[in-house]
Amino acid sequence: MHLAYPAVLSSLLFCTGLYGVLARRNAILVLMSVELMLNAVNLNLVAFDVWLSKAARDTLHSGQALTLFTIAIAAAEIGIGLAIVLAVYRGRGTSDIDKLRDTAESPDDGGPDGFAPDGSAADAGAGAATDEKAEATA
């Protein structure tokens, strides 16, 4: 078997997964696309391991062993990622990535001390309190 066939298939799978990560807005579909990219890497690892083992008969098949580790890590990653997505869905009512990004704290909101990151007051009440403190110290 030529090395080009699995390499081309792997690159097509990886590009499909990359498109899915960049174009999808649903968090579950993004996780599935990441899994597709990992499977493309696994296919490449096994193909190169088989190709290299033909040259040397006494090999350890490290590509196949690494693929097993990658599959185990991917399963754990999907389990944890799905749990996080379900927790966010229960809390916010959506798994749409754009809507979750919109509901995040914006930089112009006041922090715990009532000031925005640029040092200005977050609201008019805090501004009045700051003016009073400035007059009292002057």
Walking along the chain (138 residues) 10 residues at a time, the average pLDDT comes out as 90 96 89 92 89 72 84 90 89 81 59 54 52 56
Q: Is 47 helix (H, G, I), strand (E, B) or coil?
A: helix
Q: What's residue 4's pLDDT?
A: 92
Q: What's residue 63's pLDDT?
A: 80
Q: What's residue 17's pLDDT?
A: 95
Provide the CB-side half-sphere exposure for 60 (13 A, CA).
Answer: 3
Q: What's residue 107's pLDDT?
A: 57
Gap between the Cα atoms of 136 and 138, Å rounded: 6
Neighbours of 30 (CB within 10 A): 20
- The residues, any chain, with a CB within 8 Å of residue 115's CB and separated by 6 or more, are 121, 122, 126
End-to-end CA distance of the chain: 84
Residue owning tokens 């990151």: 117
Q: What's residue 131's pLDDT?
A: 57
Q: What's residue 5's pLDDT?
A: 93
* pTM of the predicted model over 0.85: no
